[in-house]
Structures are given as C-alpha cells and as structure tokens.
Amino acid sequence: MKRKEWLTIAMVCVFLLAAAVGLYQYREAQTNERPLPQGQTSVTPQPDKQPEQPIAHLWITRDFGASTLLDEQVPIGQAETVSDLLQDTVDEVETSYNGSFVQSIMGIGSTGSGEQKQDWFYYVNGKAAEVAATEYTVKAGDVVWWDYHSWKYAINTPAQIGAYPHPFVDAAAEAAQTAVVMASPGYEALARQTAAWLTAHKAGQVKQIAWNDEELQAAHPLILVGDSKALANSAFLRSLWEQKQQLGLFAELTADGIRTFDQYGKPRKVWTSGGTGTLLATIHPATRQPLWIVSGTDRQGVENAAALLRTDEAEQWPLQPYFSVVLNQQQKIQLPIVDKEVQQ
C-alpha cells in the first residue's frame, strides 16, 4: 500500500477517535453535575405557566353598606360555595341549621326580634340570592356581598347598584337575554347613550326603546330613564311604590321630586332642587329580572344619574357599596339614609 494511502487511513482513524471521545464527553456532561466556569450561569428550564387561580370579590358591610368591614379579592376552589368562601376568609363566623344560616360574622351577630331584629343578608352580583349560602356555588368574577342590617322596613332587599356592571353582564352571559333601556318621551338620546355604556361593559345585547307599557311586563333586564314627574305618572311604577317595602326601594318618584326614606322606612326628605338625580335598583315583581330606575328632578338630574353608569376600566366598582343613591351637586348620598348612631 502506498504511503499516501496509509496517511489517509490514519487521518480517518484519528477523526473517528476524536468524534467518539467528543460524544462520550458530551454524554457525561449531560448526566453529571459539574461546576461551571467562573462568570457562567446555568439556565434552568422553566415549567409551563400555570393558569391564574380564579378569584371572587368578597365584601362585608353593615347598615346597608354604610360601613365597610372587609373588601378583598379571594381565590376560589372547585365547587366552593358562598358559605365556604366566607369561612375560608373570615375567622369569626358562626352558623346554624347545618351551616345554611349565618348568625355572626366578625363578632357581629343576630339580635332582637320582630321589627327590631338585625341579621346578615347576602347578595351575589347585585342581587339577593334565593338559596342558602351553602347551596350557591361561586364563579370566577362573582361579587359576594354580606350586609348586616335591620328587618324593620326592608325585610327584603332584592337588588343593589353597588356591584355594577353586574347584574346586566350576568343576565346577558347566562341567559343570552337582551337588556332593554326604556325612555320616557324626550329622553331617547340619553337612553341610547346608556345602552352604549352597558354594551361597552360586555353586557351582551342592549337595545333602547321608547316607552311601552307592554314591554314593562316582558322578561328581560330593564332600565327605565326619565324625570320624576314623567315616571310618577306610570301606573306600573306607582304599583312599585305600593310594594316598596317588599322591593327594597328607598326612594319614591313624585310629581314634586324624589322622596327618600331611612333604614326604618321613615320619610326623610323630598328633593326638589334642580340637578338632583337618583339611581334605584330592584327586581321586577313578576319576571324577577333586574329593574333599575334612572331619574331626577329635571333633565340635568336625570343626566347626572345616568352618568354614574358611564365608567372606565379603572373604576371596577364605581358604585360600591351603595344599595341605591341620590346625587346632588355631584355628591353621592347613600340610600337608605342611615342615622350616624346606627353605624357605631
């Protein structure tokens, strides 16, 4: 064999040997931990990002929202009920009837009897729940609100404005219902704006219509817009004022203005000055759908009240913790009107 051929064979052998050694060293480096040269850092593989745990918003207040005791975002587990959420978050909770009735939260317990009785009531997304707290399963984004107040006037308070844009977002998402904004004559443009604001909050389909007595009885979330004098002429609304104790209404629209009540149902003041608005929440007595009323003593008052629904993402709960509200000269006044000594 020629010398040139021997050289070629030798070089191939050296190359194969070097490759084998390199492969062996690479495998050793993968299986054994070795100190890294100074100035170098190891890169640890990052695990897949876990999905964020769903949360609910837990509010605890007293005297129709007059005093806030707790306001927290709370993680929720699978099949967690309102009762579980409360007891997982607050240490001092006392219950009865196998946990279905909450007697005491944070040392504040049921007292009195009859009209003097005070108890804890709970709401989800701006509506009173119709089942026990042990039966209501909390969903991501829910607003769970416990409030401690008197039975004397409002034994039933079926709705509140504090969790806005709930309950209209829920009605659209859960039942694919079209919310209706109904305007008394002259307020059609403001009603269209209100419908647009609701739509911006992902409230599903929202339509604006002229005043229609038949639509007042249809089963859909409803917002009524108009001044107090016009709305006071509605036979439907007059029937609501007759049931205001059962419907948790703390104001009544009259031809003279807006008559407000305290937590015991006692009339406190009739607002007649221009620019005074009100935003009220209840449940339609027949359809059980959300029913809100946007009104005022005059056009400016109605516009002021409607503007409370025009919010941006920075104001997540712009109406927290109001059950209802009167707006006078840009000052929000809580309804029902609660005596200061009661809040102590």
How confident is the model at residue 32, as a pLDDT?
A: 44
How confident is the model at residue 173, as a pLDDT?
A: 52
What value does the mean pLDDT take over residues 220-243? Answer: 96
Cα–Cα distance, 244 to 112 (Å, whole number): 23
- Is residue 217 a contact partner of residue 233, using CB atoms and an 8 Å limit? no
- Residue ranges of alpha helices (H) inside the chain are 3-31, 82-89, 168-175, 188-200, 228-232, 235-242, 244-247, 299-307, 340-343
Helix or strand or coil: residue 202? coil
Q: How far is CA 186 from CA 95, 118, 196, in A?
A: 52, 43, 18
Q: Which DSSP symbol is given to 216? A: G
How confident is the model at residue 340, as a pLDDT?
A: 62
The alpha carbon of 179 is separated from its chain's Cα centroid by a whole number of angstroms, namely: 17
- The answer for residues whose C-beta is within 8 angstroms of residue 162's C-beta and 6 or more apart is 59, 65, 126, 145, 317, 319, 320, 321, 322, 323
How confident is the model at residue 29, as a pLDDT?
A: 44
Judge residue 106's burial from the number of C-beta atoms within 10 Å of its C-beta, 0-12 exposed, 13-18 middle, 19 or more buried.
Answer: middle
More confident residue, 61 or 97: 61
How confident is the model at residue 198, as a pLDDT?
A: 87
Q: Is the confidence at residue 296, as pLDDT, over 70?
A: yes
For the chain, what is the radius of gyration of the CA atoms? Answer: 31
How confident is the model at residue 31, as a pLDDT?
A: 42
Q: Is the confidence at residue 271, as pLDDT, over 60?
A: yes
What's this model's pTM, rounded to 2 decimal places? 0.82
Helix or strand or coil: residue 11? helix
pLDDT in tens, 140-160: 999 999 999 998 888 789 999
How confident is the model at residue 174, as a pLDDT?
A: 53
State which H helix or E strand residue 315 sits in.
Answer: none
What value does the mean pLDDT take over residues 208-213? Answer: 94
- Is residue 208 a contact partner of residue 184, using CB atoms and an 8 Å limit? no
How confident is the model at residue 37, as a pLDDT?
A: 40
β-strands 267-271, 331-335 pairing: unpaired
- The answer for residues whose C-beta is within 8 angstroms of residue 205's C-beta and 6 or more apart is 172, 177, 178, 179
Right CATH number for 55-150 from 3.40.50.300, 2.60.120.260, 2.170.130.30, 3.40.50.920? 2.170.130.30
- Annotated domain spans of the chain: 55-150, 168-343
What value does the mean pLDDT take over residues 284-305? Answer: 96
